[in-house]
A and B are shown apart, each in its own frame.
Chain A
Amino acid sequence: MTPTPREMDSQQPLLEVRNLVKHFQVGGGFFGGRPGIVKAVDGVSFSIQRGETLGLVGESGCGKTTTGRAILRLEPPTSGEVIFEGRDLATLSEAELRGMRRRMQVIFQDPYSSLNPRMTVGQIIAEPLAVHGIVPDRAARAERVHELLRRAGLLPAMARRYPHELSGGQRQRVGIARALAMEPRLIICDEPVSALDVSIQAQIINLLEELQAEFGLTYLFVAHDLSVVRHISDRVAVMYLGKIVEITDRKSLYEDPQHPYTKALLSAVPIPDPAVEAEREHVVLGGEVPSPLNPPAGCVFHPRCPIAVAECRTAVPELREVKPGHQAACIRL
Chain B
Amino acid sequence: MVEHYTLGRKIFVGANYTVLAVLSLLCLVPLIHVLAVSFSSSQAATAGLVKLWPVDFTISSYKFVLAKPAFLTSIGVTLTRVAIGLTINMALTVLVAYPLSKEVGKFPYRTLYVWIFVVTMLFYGGLIPQYMIVKYTGIMDSIWALVLPGAVPVFNVVLLLNFFRGLPKELEEAAFIDGAGHWTTLWRIMVPLSAPALATLTLFATVGHWNAWFDGLIFMNSPDHYPLQSYLQTVVINRDLSLVSSADMKSLAEVSDRTAKAAQIFLGALPILLVYPFLQRFFMKGIVLGSVKG
> Is the pairing of A and B real?
no
